[in-house]
Amino acid sequence: MRTPLFTSILILIAAALYMAFRYLGNDYLFFAGYVVLQYIVIATAWNILGGYCGYVNFGSAGFFAIGVYCTIFFYNIGQSPGDVFPDFMLTPMGWIFPLPLPILIVLGGFFAGLVGLGMGYLTLRLRGVFFAIATLALAVVLETFVVNWPFVGGSRGAYVIPPENIPVFGTFIQYLFVLMLLLVVLALAAARLIERSRLGVGFATIRDDELAAETCGVPTLRLKLVATAVSGALFGMAGAPFPFYIGYVEPNSAFNLSYAVNAIAMPMIGGTTTWIGPMIGALLLSTLQQVVTVTISSAANLLITGLLLIGFVILAPKGLVGLWQGWTGRSAKP
């Protein structure tokens, strides 16, 4: 299937999903659905570096938080432009700020992608567990940085007041939901495109054997930088609308361990070698977490994720997609 056709089908499915949720008319569905969709983007973002290239990123929460705090930063500028700009610039800046949410998403993606690129440069000599430790350290450094930056709220946190209602969509959560749906379409289309392109072949050679890849002419350094940048950008885009969703952000919630754990667990459970695996993992795990939060307890979330992750790593290391391919005797990509 060609990419434009695939993307069109994804958009149709997304539209149908939105209409169905609207028809049911319950705002809670949108609240819960937003989180599930957000995790599809996060799982796909992780998988581009972790699944395709084999570089395990434990700093997912850091990249997600870059998107979150990028939004806070520009939102705060919009709230009090007088504190930031000299007087003569206030009028032109008044036309620009406050920035609309889609622009904030693009900015969040841009800055997180930039940090991803930087991280790629700094850690390119590290492999395996050392790379994982470095990414974890990056998240800690970023969190410390944010905690000590009063403009974005520091450790006190920052408020973002979402508008009550919005034209066309009605409630603001519906607007957020639709934006996240579009991000899911973007992430899945990008992941599938990469997987089927020369880039995907190059990524797979890096995962299998970096030394052999180089001697086959694969510019491994450049490809790794592409992977860290694209993966980081998707994380940032997933994080950018989050302040509007949650209303109040503090470092602990933006840099939460659950993002790092889920970002790894979801692709692992779904299957890391195809675009569909992280999506299935995110759909299942995130929906399960939403149900558990309501029915049992919100604390059981990560416990369930952890247990499932251990179970899958031991019993089905290729995830659900691997199990499916085993049953149907197919190894071809879906």
Residue 218 engages another protein in binding (rule: CB under 8 A) = yes
Phi, psi torsion values for 217, nearest 5 degrees? 90, 5
What residues have CB less than 8 Å from 334, skipping those under 6 apart?
Answer: 274, 276, 321
Residue 202 C-beta: closest distance to another protein, Å? 7
Residue 221 engages another protein in binding (rule: CB under 8 A) = yes
Residue 219 engages another protein in binding (rule: CB under 8 A) = yes
The single residue among 174, 220, 262, 274 that binds another protein, judged by CB under 8 A, is 220
Residue 204 C-beta: closest distance to another protein, Å? 6
- 211 versus 299: smaller Cβ distance to another protein: 211
Residue 56 C-beta: closest distance to another protein, Å? 16
Residue 207 engages another protein in binding (rule: CB under 8 A) = yes
**Per-position b or e across 266-305, b if 16+ CB within 10 A of its CB:** bbbbbbbbbbbbbbbbbbbbbeebbebeeeeeeeebbeeb
- 194 versus 213: smaller Cβ distance to another protein: 213
Distances (CA, A) of 33 to 10, 20, 135, 283, 287: 17, 12, 29, 10, 8
Residue 220 C-beta: closest distance to another protein, Å? 7
Residue 127 C-beta: closest distance to another protein, Å? 15
- 53 versus 184: smaller Cβ distance to another protein: 53
Compute the CA torsion angle 33, 320, 58, 154 (nearest 10 deg): 10
What residues have CB less than 8 Å from 20, skipping those under 6 apart?
Answer: none
Q: Which residues within the stretch 94-123 sit at the binding site for another protein (CB under 8 A)?
A: none
Half-sphere exposure of 16 (CA within 13 A, CB side): 6
The single residue among 13, 15, 212, 291 that binds another protein, judged by CB under 8 A, is 212
Q: Which of 7, 38, 61, 62 is nearest to 237 (CA)?
A: 38
Residues engaged in binding another protein (CB under 8 A): 198, 201-202, 204-205, 207-209, 211-221, 273
